[in-house]
Structure 1
Amino acid sequence: MSWKNTESRYGSLTIALHWLTLLLIAGVYACIELKGNFPKGSETRELLKQWHFMLGLSVFLLVWLRLLVRLASPTPRIEPAIPAWQATLARLMHYALYLMMIGLPFAGWLILSAAGKPIPFFGLELPPLVDKNPDLAGQIKEWHETIGNAGYFLIGLHAAAALFHHFVSRDNTLVRMLPQRR
């Protein structure tokens, strides 16, 4: 399998970036869900919050590489071709997912900045994006949580659509993004 996309399937680079992004996003959601099992102020809860941020920021950085690869490579054809309305919905879904992968981590960085908290990133401390402003932190946090919760729906719908295409439509939508068997 080539590392580049072709007209018929995604290359190994795109496939690896896709599944690595999924693993990172799963980690982001797992950390934030698990933190509720620990008392406020506990070391484990704070560690989970740090990992939530660091994994989220990793998604933010990785998405820019994904976008570069996407812009520089052809998108493989779906065979047999899907109706135009499905192609439009798929494109809108991808836009929403990319906006989420950029917007949520950026919002997380803004929240920590406005809250006046340290901004950890794997041993580094990142600079704040804005001055301390607890009201702003609270407003952005509400937005972050709402969009984050909507992310469960978007990701689930994305996965359900891939399975629908594979098992019902019987096209190559899902197969294009799976590692090739030897």
Structure 2
Amino acid sequence: MQEDRYSLPQRVLHWGIAGLVALALVAGMLFFAFGFSGLQDTFGGAVTNALYKYHKTAGVLVLGLMILRVVLRLRLGAPAPVTSLTDLERRLSAGVQLLLYAMLLVLPALGWLATAAGGFPVEFFNWTLPGLIGKDKALSELLFTLHGLAALTVMLLLGLHIAGALRHWLIKRDGVMRRMSLLG
């Protein structure tokens, strides 16, 4: 790995996971705004079922890819912090990154468990995965609530992460964005 950049696999995973998370969050917001019956009334049963199926698929992919990302991070490390960062910026960056890693593992795991406890299929494309826990309506409701709160937490952390990235790119112009860029 070049000392000033993450490895290519780490950069590809970063952007791939970012895209999957964005799609899953948009679908989740639709679920929250419309509810199942509202989605069916608005978009029809086929589209509604596809939204749920591919939301679950995205979650399973995020979970698997995040596990791979953690393994790569432990194995390959990270480039040294940019010297232009203040101590506060370094701490905030590390804290947001650590929390994002944790929440991107917790969020899909909660969704998987909530789905299973609700008696719904845990879908991954056209396969049904093991539910891991039995049906329990009260537990499902609690887990779906926690899943929603985790999604809100991820959105907040993503907002901080993106704001920091934009600050480095547009204001500080210190090369931090190059560390995760797929180009060059």
The TM-score, its normalising length taken from structure 2, stands at 0.88
For the residue of structure 2 that corresponds to 1:174, the secondary structure is helix
Query: Do 2:113 and 2:131's aligned partners in 1 also have CA atoms closer than 8 Å?
Result: yes
Question: Per-residue deviation at 1:78?
Answer: 3.6
8 Å CA contact 2:81, 2:90 repeated in 1: no
Distance (whole Å) between structure 2 residues aligned to residue 144 and residue 47 of structure 1: 20
Contact 2:104 2:154 in 1 (8 A): no
Q: What is the distance in 2 between the residues matched to 1:124 and 1:144?
A: 22
- Quick one: which amino acid aligns to residue 143 of structure 2? I
Matches within 5 A, 1:1-182: 5-35=1-31, 36=34, 38-39=39-40, 42-181=45-184
Contact persistence 1:78–1:171 (CA under 8 A): no
C-alpha deviations, 1:48-71, integer Å up to 9, x for none? 011111101100000011111111
Give me the whole-angstrom Cα distance separating, in 2, the residues matched to 1:8 and 1:27: 30
Alpha-carbon separation, structure 2, partners of 1:138 and 1:168: 44
Query: 1:145 Cα deviation (Å)?
Result: 0.7
Q: Number of matched residues?
A: 177
Unaligned runs of 5+ residues in structure 2 are none
Give, in angstroms, the shift of residue 31 of structure 1.
Answer: 2.2
Tell me which stretches of 4 or more aligned residues in structure 1 moved more than 4 Å: none
Deviation of the 1:7 alpha carbon = 1.5
The TM-score normalised by the length of structure 1 is 0.89
Contact 1:63 / 1:101 at 8 angstroms: preserved in 2? yes
RMSD of equivalent CA atoms: 1.7
